Amino acid sequence: MRKQDNTITWDTFSEGLWRENPVFAMLLGMCPVLAVTNSAINALAMGVATTFVLLASGVLISLLRRQIPKQVRIATYIVIIATFVTIVDYAIQAISLDLYNALGAFIQLIVVNCMILGRAEAYASKNRPLKAFVNALGMGAGFTFALLCLGVVREVLGAGKLFGVDLFGPQFEPWVVMVLPAGGFIVLGAWLLLFEWFKQRKAQSESDAVVEVR
């Protein structure tokens, strides 16, 4: 039997939050990221729904990892994921019809979110259920965080509201393009620029520090 590292550290959880953030660092699952983030509440709902599917499918795949034949593993993963997405789809429809209509087909499209399949293949199929659970929790939190980053900016700029609460009063002229498709691309581009700038500044200060030590 192959030796496994079963220790669960803070890193198991936190790598999804920041260093390997599915959206900002790995650019996975972009379609829902841009499509449903025109308001903060939609972004939050989408994040929670995706996290649920990520957790449930991660644990189940991890439990079945010795039973699933290698040749048909991708098909098996897809069917498992599709099952949980169907559950989420009907659950949201039962809880809030408004939310269901706002998110539209994108709840069902969680099936083809490459982040979930990627995690199943790269992590859940190689680790024990508990560890897969913790990691999926971190990834889901990172995904939700990224969706909120976009949703908040787009709703504040594009509608002058946050979670449906008016922020600036009637004088505010909404920057409508931000809630339209074009705004999604531009806001995500701007966030990526910001993160790239942080990264470069950090690398710069580290190389400066090395020079000083010498």
Partner 1 sequence: MNYESLSFIFLNAVLANNFVLALFLGLCPFLGVSGKLNTAVPMGLATMFVMLVSSVCAYGINIVLVGLDIEFLRLIAYIVVIASAVQLVEMTLKKFSPGLFRALGIFLPLITTNCAILGLALFQTFKEYDFLQSLVYALGAGTGFILAIMLMAGMREKLELSNLPSVTQGAAVSLMLGGLLSLSFMGFAGLGGQ
Contact set with partner 1 (CB under 8 A): 27-28, 30-31, 34-35, 74-75, 78-79, 82-83, 85-86, 89-90, 105, 108-109, 111-114, 117, 177, 180-186, 188-190, 192-193, 196-197, 200
Q: How far is the CB of 116 from partner 1 (least distance, A)?
A: 10
Q: How far is the CB of 141 from partner 1 (least distance, A)?
A: 22
Residue 103 φ/ψ region, left for φ over 0, alpha for ψ in the -120 to 50 degree band, beta for the rest: alpha
Cβ proximity to partner 1, 28 vs 61, nearer residue: 28
Alpha carbon of residue 46 to chain centroid: 9
Q: How far is the CB of 88 from partner 1 (least distance, A)?
A: 10
Query: DSSP for 16-79?
Result: HHTTT-TTTTT--SHHHHHHSTTSHHHHHHHHHHHHHHHHHHHHHHHHTTTTS-GGGHHHHHHH
Q: How far is the CB of 78 from partner 1 (least distance, A)?
A: 6
Q: How many CB atoms lie within 10 A of CB 90?
A: 12
Cβ proximity to partner 1, 74 vs 167, nearer residue: 74
